[in-house]
Amino acid sequence: MDVKTWTYIVVGLSFALYIGIAIWSRATSTKEFYVAGGNVSPISNGMATAADWMSAASFISMAGMIAFAGYGGSVFLMGWTGGYVLLALMLAPYMRKYGKFTVPEFIGERFYSKTARVVAVICLIIVSITYVIGQMKGVGVAFSRFLETDYNTGLYVGMGIVFFYAVLGGMKGITYTQIAQYVVLIFAYTVPAVFISLKLTGNPIPQLGLGGSTADGTPLLQKLDQVIQDLGFNEYTTSKDGSTLNMFVYTLTLMIGTAGLPHVIIRFFTVPKVSDARLSAGWALIFIAILYTTAPAVAAMARLNLTETVQTGPVGQAASNLEYDKRPEWFKNWEKTGLLKFEDKNGDGRIQYYNDAGESFKQQGWNGNELVTVDKDIIVLANPEIANLPGWVIALVVAGGLAAALSTAAGLLLAISSAISHDLLKGIMRPDISEKQELTASRFAMVCAIAVAGYFGLNPPDFAAGTVAIAFGLAASSIFPVLMMGIFSKKMNRQGAVAGMVAGMSVTLLYVFQHKGILFIPGTSFLGSMDANWFLGITPNAFGAVGALVNFAVAFAVSKTADEAPQGVQDLVESIRIPSKD
């Protein structure tokens, strides 16, 4: 059977499974729609959280980013896992004890202010929409590349599937589908990694293979360092991402951004008890760590494979460079997509892939790097082909990528629709509607959210790449600090909370916009995205932590100008701090 047939079968089966679960788990009450009835077991919730959290970016892009950044890519690994420690220790148990449906609801009640609730809804919607655009794009791309449909058809199919189980089942449907999606995605990620590790190092466990030795006895990482340094690249195991300060701040931003993402936080409303919320965060991190500790192995091995495919012997001998006519099949496949591009700059019919920033390669007749495009996203997707794995493994990777994108999209859409139906409609505009009406409204809000996400998926704004900075920056600078102060500072009042959120959000948005363009419109970046203009050398993507600091500082300063939180609110804080009812 060819790869395409396999892909249709595997993707078709996985979709049938998701739809089957949707029909089986219809939501009949708002509690089921918003929090899956509140009786999901900690392990199940951990698995669903892992699928919810790991997006197309984690599945498809992360290993590629690490492959080309080397040690500098560690910010993603530590940032996107370390956030779960914050979540488990400082947010999840207290949010569960509070025991309602949404994050803005907590902020509104804790800060006894509808303004705070509305500001929180706005932050939540900006964060979730920017995040969901990337997922929709991932779905469209995966379909169009592997099923040879056009991008739009792929997107419609993806939207249809999400529509079916998210609108019908709400959080209940999403939870059980996410569990299935986790199984699909983790299997799809680890199977090729095991094969490749076995092939390169003889060790079937990629995490150990990364520290293992290659066939000639040299440690894998030492060999990789050597091979790429010979080609003028920075040493893999030490190359940094900007300054040490930038790595520090970037990691911190990703950590507190992770802990502040509303679609992740609401997953902890679905377990029965406070102790389950703690345990569930632990399980979630185990399930996430399986992928996150495999990713650096995939990254290093893929970089070595790619480099050695092109540079087959010592640098400097003409015969060491791969002849273009002898390039492998996967190379040709990816050239068709435009994600891998070769230009024979010196006209010798061979491929030279190296860092052409220096002059030192000129004398051996090299005339610039000839792999002019090597898209980071091909690392994971092309991995099974590079390693010559059977067709069903490639099909599995496609199903895994789709599972990762769909599960995250569904979680985000639920966060958006519950903020609209529960916080804006029921909480502020029409408090008198019945539960049945609210349930209908939440389904309607879900449909609208899917339509908006789909629209952005069909007309991807130019700023898709920059939006991750916004999503994490805002979650880190607005939502995380306000939740922390709500729990850990009994006396923090509404004036402080609102001022803090607005200040944190504004500073972060301003910094991103002034370097990347106002609303990412090219040409409006009045400071230019260049090192010299960066505040202490901090890149815009890394700025959320600074925004969070501003949020805390402004909140505390402003809170001193007004009365402390009323007694009733302080009692609420005291009660969420202990797990039991009294």
Partner 1 sequence: MENEPNLQERRKAYWRANLRILAILMSIWFVVSFGCGILFVEPLNQIKLGGFKFGFWMAQQGSIYVFVALIFVYVRLMNRLDREFNFEDYE
Min separation Cβ 578 and partner 1, Å: 5
**Residues 6 or more apart whose Cβ sits within 8 Å of residue 570:** 490, 491, 564
Nearer to partner 1, 139 or 221 (CB): 221
Nearer to partner 1, 127 or 193 (CB): 193
Nearer to partner 1, 440 or 575 (CB): 575
Min separation Cβ 247 and partner 1, Å: 5
Nearest-angstrom CA–CA distance, 188 and 404: 10
H or E element at residue 341: strand 340-342
Nearer to partner 1, 6 or 269 (CB): 269
Within 10 angstroms of residue 368's Cβ, the number of other Cβ atoms is 13
Min separation Cβ 77 and partner 1, Å: 6
Min separation Cβ 43 and partner 1, Å: 13
Nearer to partner 1, 10 or 256 (CB): 256
The 8-class DSSP code of residue 219 comes to B
Min separation Cβ 264 and partner 1, Å: 14
Min separation Cβ 208 and partner 1, Å: 8
Min separation Cβ 135 and partner 1, Å: 24
Nearer to partner 1, 86 or 505 (CB): 86
- 434: exposed, middle or buried (C-beta count within 10 Å: 0-12, 13-18, 19+)? exposed
CA 447 vs CA 110, 195, 316, 413, 417: distances in Å: 30, 41, 60, 9, 8
Within 10 angstroms of residue 274's Cβ, the number of other Cβ atoms is 21
Nearest-angstrom CA–CA distance, 387 and 194: 11
**Residues 6 or more apart whose Cβ sits within 8 Å of residue 212:** 197, 201, 202, 203, 219, 220
Dihedrals φ, ψ of 323, to 5°? -75, 135
Nearer to partner 1, 88 or 168 (CB): 88
- 8 A C-beta contact, residue 195 and residue 383: no
Among 7, 95, 71, smallest CA distance to 482 is for 95
- Residues of this chain that interact with partner 1 (CB under 8 A) are 66, 71, 73-74, 77-78, 81-82, 84-85, 88-90, 93, 97, 207, 210-213, 219-222, 237-238, 244, 247-248, 251-252, 272-275, 278-279, 281-282, 285-286, 289, 292-293, 296, 574, 577-582
Nearer to partner 1, 14 or 305 (CB): 305
Min separation Cβ 515 and partner 1, Å: 23
Which single residue is written with the structure tokens 């794995």?
A: 389
H or E element at residue 342: strand 340-342
- Helix, coil or strand: residue 447: helix
Min separation Cβ 220 and partner 1, Å: 6
**What residue type is 212 in one-letter code?**
G
Nearer to partner 1, 88 or 415 (CB): 88
